């Protein structure tokens, strides 16, 4: 992924900088012009419309963001045989990091995503936490976290016990994904939380790069304040999404073709660029916000075995959380 071309682009992005003084003067001029343009756009907007006004970042403040070296991708040790086979698994994150089955992203590349830093993945006795910070990493001004299950996984049930990160602009995700890099078109199945509204979980899927439709599933709780189990069943002709075992939505092949390619299983915490602001909200989240993941399981179609839901009880989990 981070081949010679990407590495060259990263180098150039980190090399071209303005001095603090020059940046401040240019920022002042740019700020006056942009303020005028924004005011004009609001005054001339059609009655009843709600334009998204993006507050310009202060270039002087940007220049003082904490800086990080361009990250070097971690190596790939030999993969465990069960991961290489795409076998069923259950992983309680208190077990720590196993590089033969899991991979910590540590890279940056041209995309709307932030830089991924391995040191933003934090392991505790009962969970892993992903962290999101404002910092300069090459050309990026944000650094999030991505943790991947190694291997490719096909039809079956995926479960996760988690709490997403609070704060407008955050996206906490569990999803399957494959692309041309893995010999297939873009297929993806999503469970995502937007920190701007954590009384809902969002879902979607992509087949050969084409999306199904964006789903907003209401929740009777703030997902960042309570631990719950989210899941989807992936079958050849349908996908079904669940919250704490309750079926929330079903999509079928008649609605949109179902992904057919084996895929990676990934968790992420990120925030995007201006083109994502309308969707995930302005990035006003508290610096260092975190999403917590307690358990992920994958039960291959036709298998029997352990899943996160076998031992997870949302009432007991949240009673214990309140006690602490």
Tell me: the pLDDT tens digits for 53-106?
444 444 445 667 888 888 999 888 999 999 999 999 999 998 889 999 999 999
> Are the beta carbons of 177 and 205 closer than 8 angstroms?
no
Q: Which residues are catalytic?
A: 188, 192
Mean pLDDT for the stretch of residues 136-156 = 96
- Cβ atoms of 158 and 231 within 8 Å: the answer is yes
Phi, psi (rounded to 5 degrees) for 82: -65, -35
User: Has residue 33 got a pLDDT over 50?
Assistant: no
Q: Half-sphere exposure of 184 toward its Cβ, with a 13 Å CA cutoff?
A: 18
Assign 3-class secondary structure to 88-129. CEEEEHHHCCCCCCEEECCECCCCCCCEECHHHEEECCCCEE
Over residues 262-282, the mean pLDDT reads: 96
Q: Which two tokens stand for residue 211?
A: 């999306």
Domain boundaries, the chain: 4-63, 67-323
**CATH number assigned to the domain covering 67-323:** 2.60.120.200
Residue 314 has pLDDT above 60, yes or no: yes
Residue 324's pLDDT band, with cuts at 50, 70 and 90, is low
Q: Give the Cα separation of 264 and 248 in Å (integer).
A: 24
Mean pLDDT of the chain: 84
The reported pTM is 0.81
8-23 pLDDT tens trace? 333 333 333 333 343 3
Quick one: what percent of the chain has pLDDT higher than 70?
Answer: 79
Bridge pairing between strands 115-116 and 140-153 = parallel
């Amino acid at each position: 992924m981070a081949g010679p071309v990407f590495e060259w682009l990263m180098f150039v992005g980190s090399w071209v900088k303005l001095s603090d003084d020059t940046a401040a003067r240019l920022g002042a001029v740019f700020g006056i012009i942009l303020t005028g343009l924004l005011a004009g756009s609001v005054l001339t907007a059609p009655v009843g419309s709600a334009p998204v006004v993006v507050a310009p970042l202060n270039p002087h403040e940007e220049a003082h963001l904490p800086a990080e070296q361009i990250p070097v991708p971690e190596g790939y040790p030999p993969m465990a045989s069960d991961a290489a086979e795409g076998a069923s698994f259950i992983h309680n994150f208190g077990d720590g990091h196993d590089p033969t089955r899991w991979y910590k992203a540590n890279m940056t590349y041209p995309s709307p995503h932030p830089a991924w830093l391995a040191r933003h993945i934090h392991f505790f006795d009962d969970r892993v936490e992903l962290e999101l910070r404002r910092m300069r990493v090459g050309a990026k001004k944000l650094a999030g976290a991505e943790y991947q299950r190694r291997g490719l996984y096909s039809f079956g049930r995926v479960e996760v016990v988690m709490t997403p990160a609070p704060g407008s602009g955050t996206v906490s995700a569990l999803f399957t994904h494959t692309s041309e890099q893995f010999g297939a078109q873009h297929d993806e199945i999503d469970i995502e939380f937007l920190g701007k509204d954590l009384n809902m979980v969002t879902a979607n899927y992509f087949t050969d790069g084409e999306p199904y439709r964006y789903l907003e599933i209401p929740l009777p709780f703030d997902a960042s304040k309570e631990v719950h189990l989210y899941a989807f069943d992936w079958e050849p002709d349908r996908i079904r999404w669940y919250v704490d075992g309750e079926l929330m939505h079903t999509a079928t092949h008649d609605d949109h073709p179902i992904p057919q390619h084996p895929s990676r299983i990934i968790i992420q915490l990120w925030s995007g660029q201006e083109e994502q602001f309308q969707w995930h909200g302005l990035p006003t989240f508290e610096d260092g916000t975190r999403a917590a993941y307690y358990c992920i399981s994958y039960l291959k179609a036709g298998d029997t075995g352990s899943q996160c839901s076998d031992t997870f009880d949302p009432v007991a989990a949240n009673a214990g959380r309140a006690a602490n």
